[in-house]
Structures are given as structure tokens and as C-alpha cells.
Structure 1
Amino acid sequence: MTLPVVLVAGLHADARRATVDALLRAVPRGVALHHDLTSAPAGTVRRTLRDAGGVLDSATAPLVNDCACCALREDLLPELERLADSGELCALAVVELWDSVEPLSVAQLLRTRGDERLTLVGVVTAVDPALVHPCLANGDDLAGAGLAAARDDQRTVGDTFARQLEYAPLLALVEGEAAPDATDRALLSQLHPLARLTSPGHPAFLPEATAGFDASAAAARVHPTTALLPQEAEEAGVTTFVWRADRPFHPDRLYAALPELACGALRSRGRFWLANRRETLLSWQAAGGALCVEALGPWLAALPRAAWPDVPTARRAAALVDWHPTLGDRSQHLVFTSPGLDVGALRARLESCLLTDAELAAHTADPARWTHHDSDFDRLLEPIR
């Protein structure tokens, strides 16, 4: 017999708590496990176990490697396994994640280090719809907001919230003090078009929250190399603009445009390539004006054919969808979502950063020559080798 586990994530603590409470009311012998990382500066993490009637147990766990998230990982699995060993005393374990903990990392932990006693059956992100816009627009560091999960946590409020939203297949909508409007719901729908949006009080909530979960497929869906990025949409003043191009960016012109592009939309993401980094797939993640650019290894076209069988199937499938006869999977694919989005200005700014016809001709004739082009991007990415 295995113990079904549901993860409930989200920056909105009241919405998260209401969602957990709904699950506990719906499942007799259901319990909720929560690790509060607020006390991490004092060297401990507080663990609470409760059911629909109240707190069953409370204890502290020491920090591991001076990292609250490490302590959570080391303490969570043993506690879940202990609940699983209790047999019929526990019918469902709800893991209520602390504010800034992302469900992807915990789902991966359960997949790689869990055993046959535990089955992850659902991941839910609890959301107060009226707070979606202000949270996404918040470019402050988590540390400044008192939400950092480790000393070296460099995430921002906006990008953490965006990843929490975009990973979970089910968004539990819990209204707070401010009433949401059509813009709030349209924003959620466009950020994660595949998600089911429902209230924890809806009769279908429990079956949807426990319908089953494939952690590998979910990770592939949001990873920049394989992400199922949203399509263009327009609703209630919210626009999703998809921009694609084959030719590479000029590194200097793109670098100069980064502040404008990062602030051009509430949320943007995708993959791109630079003229002086022909072999490297670059990811783009921005929220609240804070931009993260990372090098994620080679494009599939940069690998020898003999190495392709070693590439994950999802990666090969994503590359072959829009395969170019000359460039392979090298392309610009960026998606911008925001209320009041100025699509015309955004498109013009992006296109101004591409290689001109003359530059493209020179690049096509001798792409290796561009690898010696120094750029301010070198401050964001690993040095060219």
C-alpha cells in the first residue's frame, strides 16, 4: 500500500492554507505536513503536522549546510515515510510548501529519492487572483522580502511566483480581501494555458488535485530547452505575444536593449541565440523587470548525429518541431505576456537587435570569426572557450 501525496505551493499563504484545509476536510484521515522556514536565521526549521481538527505534532529540525531548503529535503522524506508506515492511520499526505519553495524541486526529490511507499498524485499552486499582478511585478530579491530559502538565494519574488504558477497543473483560486476582475483570470490563463483553474470548494477539486502527476513530464514542460511556451492570445486587456526569428541577435545591440525588453512585459520567457555563441542555447526568463539569462548547453544541431540518441526524447522532439534546413534548431522563440502590452514597439525593438543583412551574410560566410567578438554578455554568461 502506498501513501498518496499532494504538494500545495504558492506565495499567497492565506490561499495556500485555505487550499490545504479544503483537502483535509475532503479526505478523512488526511494530514498536512508543513516546514516553516521563517526561523532559519536562528538555525532551525519548524515542522508542523496537522489534520482537519488541528495540530497533531510540532518539532524543530536543524539546518543542513546552512540551508533551509536542504533541511526541508532531509526532513521531509523521513516524515512522509513514517506516515506511510502508519498504514490506515493516514489516507493522504498534503505537503504545504513554505512561501518561496518551488514545487518542481520537491516533486523531483520525491521522484528520485522516494520509494514505493510514496506516490505523488498531485501538485497544486494556491493563488489569490487579485495578487497575481502585484506579485509578478515585484522585482525585489526574496532576501529583501524575508523569503529567501538559503543565504545564497538570488531569486526574486516575481520570477519565483511565475515558476510556481507555470509548473502546477492545477491552480486553486482563493479570493482574498480584494475582489479579482477579468484581467486577473485572463493573466492566469495566458501564463499557464494548460492549467485547470478551480476553487478549493468546487466538487471537482479533490479528484483534480489527486488525479496523478508525472514529475518528468512536468519538468520537461517548463524547462527552457523543451518548454511548451504559450501561444498568442488576447483577452480582457491581457496580451500574449509570440516572437520568432531565424537569424541571430547581435550581442551588443541585444545587451543594450535588455533593460527595455525585460520591463516590456509582466512576464517573458523563451530561448534565443547570439551571433558570437552559435553553438549555445540561451534561456530567457523575466518577471517584474528582473531578467535571468542562462547558457543551457549546445543546440541539438551543434551536436554530432552520433550523440543524438543520448539526448532526452523530449529535447529531440522540441528541436525537430521547427527544424531549419541550415540552422537546425537554432532560433529565437520568446513569449511576452502582460496587460497593456505594446506589441508593435516590442516587435520593432527585438528586430532591431537581429543581425542586419550585411552582418548575416558575413556570419554565414564565416561564423567562427564571430566567436572572438567580445561582448558585455560575457558578464552574464560563462566566458567563450
Structure 2
Amino acid sequence: MGTTRVTIVGGGILGLSLAHHLSSTGFAVTLLEKEPTWAAHQTGHNSGVIHAGPYYKPGSLKARMCLAGNRSMTAFAREHGIPYETVGKLIVATSESEIPRLDALAERATANGVTCRLISMEEAREYEPHLGGLKVLRVENTGIVDYRAVSAKFAELATANGANLVSGTRARGIRSSDQGVTVEHDLGQESSDLLINAAGLHSDTVARMAGIAPGVRIVPFRGEYYELAPQSQNLVRGLIYPVPDPEMPFLGVHLTRMIDGTVHAGPNAVLALAREGYRWSDISPRDVFGTVTFPGFLKLAAGNVRTGAQEVLRSFSKRRFARDLARLVPEITPADLVRSGAGVRAQAIGRDGKLIDDFSIHQTQNQIHILNAPSPAATSALEIARHIAQLVVSPRTR
């Protein structure tokens, strides 16, 4: 039997991790990326956190892969000289009503195998002297890294293993048969035994192009960031997060010291008007139409009108942004915030209006589609690659 040929669509951290892993284990890999650079979208616009996994449902792919990914990503950075730091994270209850949720989160984190402990405010202020709040969960193994640098190293290693990484070419058509899969793209076509869809924001589109009915739609949510002004960066030493509201789809604005020493504040979460909509002025009528006509989105929107309105108001109001951050660090004022960049999260939504909570991977005879891989996908990139490699060598239809 000859070498298995694999075509990967998508050059973010997952596609590049797959190219690295599969090429190192004997597969003939071609990767196609529509942008001229690697990690141009979700990977290149996130907060650079190596998550430890306190939030996720015990036993889920997210819970298992995040815990393992925390270790493997840290080890990878260390092995290849990529700057990283294990800074830990404080999750802060700022009201009496949040304390039971924090206690429940501590139980879930422990069930997931996360190294964490509830600490007093006195001890918490040894880590973060300017912290506000009533009670704190300390998550020890949370870290920070530059995922663009990680992605570049994956690309370098994959190329050294013989993988053919092709940027600046968009997949235009996909034909599948019992003999394999052919991807037509801007620079020609690529035939292989297996297609892996790691297209992130466009993963559902690529799945439909390949003849798969994904059953979900990717809805883009833009997360907007501020930075603390240079004179205010001393207010935060590491990572400070609020207690997540189980009724809300995202974590809420938080404070993250980046690997370059800057402190990012955010993100909020507003519907993006394009799959790559990093600003309000980035509008794709096609993307908007696809979102608002999807039954699942209408159901999601109907149940989150108030939350959505608050996120939009915060998008346009530095004062509101600062007010929410001041729940965590009371000294923060609007004068401490400087507008920074934004990222767009690819969130899969089912037809029932529910957010797909776990990683979602759909497999057929000669195709594997990663249909939902939001945070902590970057943390878990090596683990997701190993998981998919097992599907490749032990194929089964899902």
C-alpha cells in the first residue's frame, strides 16, 4: 500500500498542526491556505492564552484536550525556544450572587483535573495587588504564548518533513469519489486520498462544497479589545477573569497580560457583519444574509436580545467597557484604555438555536471536517491533530 496523500484546507494553527503531525508520521501532505500568510485570522487575533480547562463539561473533547494541550503546547514552546510564561489565572467573584457559581466552577475544574484552589482576597492580592472582588479561584497552569510564532514553527517543521504548504490559493470546488478527493483551487487542483477541512471561519462552507450537509452554520462573533495605556499596565500582572454566567455564551471581558508585556482588555462579543469582519464597516451582504436566514441564528437571537444589545452598546462606549473591567480592577477608568485590535470567533450554531459547545469533528469515508473549534482550540492544537490522526488510521463513518 502506498503513502496516504492528505489535502488540508486551512492554514491556521489547526491546519498547520495537522500538517506538522501527519507529515512527521509518514503522510504525504499538501496544505492550501487562501491568505498569503499563515494564521491570518482566528489564530493571529486571539489573546495568546494557554488555557488550563476549568470551564468545560467533564469528559468532553474540550475538557480532555485542553488539559492535555496545556501540557503539550507548553512543552512544544519550551522545546523550540518560543517565548511563553506560566502566569496562572485569577477568576474573581465580584458579588455575593457570583460566589455559588465560583464554587461550582471550582468543583468542575477539579473534576477536569485542573490544578486550582479557592483563595482569600488577601492571598489573591499577593498575585494582583489592585484586584477587586470577594472571592477568587486561582488556576495555576494557565499560560501565555505567541500563537503566530507557534504556527510559524509548525509550518517550518512540516516543510522540513516534506509537506507542501501553499498559501495564496482559495479552494473553489471539491469532488469526492471512492478513489479519493480532488480540490480545485486558484493555482490548479490537488488530488489525494483524504481531505481535512480546517478552514475555521469558512469550515461549514468548505463542508458544503465537499457535498457534506454540516447541520450547523458558522456565525462570526467579533471580539473587540482595548489595551491598558503604558502608564496603567502596572495595574495587572497576569490574567484576571470574571466568573462566567452560564446563561451567556461567552466569558465576559477580562484582563490578559500578553507575552510582549502589554495588557489586553476584553473582548466583548458582537455579531460580525462578515466572516472576516474585524470592524463595523466590514460588511458582506452574502454573509449577513446567510446568518440571518439560518433558523438557528434567529432562535439564538430571540433568546439573547438583552445581552446582544448590551454587547453592542459596550462596543461603542469606552465608559461601559471600563466600568465592566473596574469590577475586576477598581482603579481602571476610561482614561486607562486605548483601543486595540479585534478578532472574529467562528462559532457553530445548530438549527435549534443552541451554540455547539464542544469541538465538533465530522468524518466520512475520505473526508474529515472540523466544524467547531473555538477556544481552547489553539491550546489544544497538538491534541486535535493527534486525535484526527487516529481517525485517519482507524477510519469510521460518523
TM-score, scaled relative to structure 1: 0.27
Give 1 or 2 for the bigger CA radius of gyration.
Answer: 1
TM-score, scaled relative to structure 2: 0.26
RCO greater where, 1 or 2, for CA within 8 Å and sep 6 or more? 2
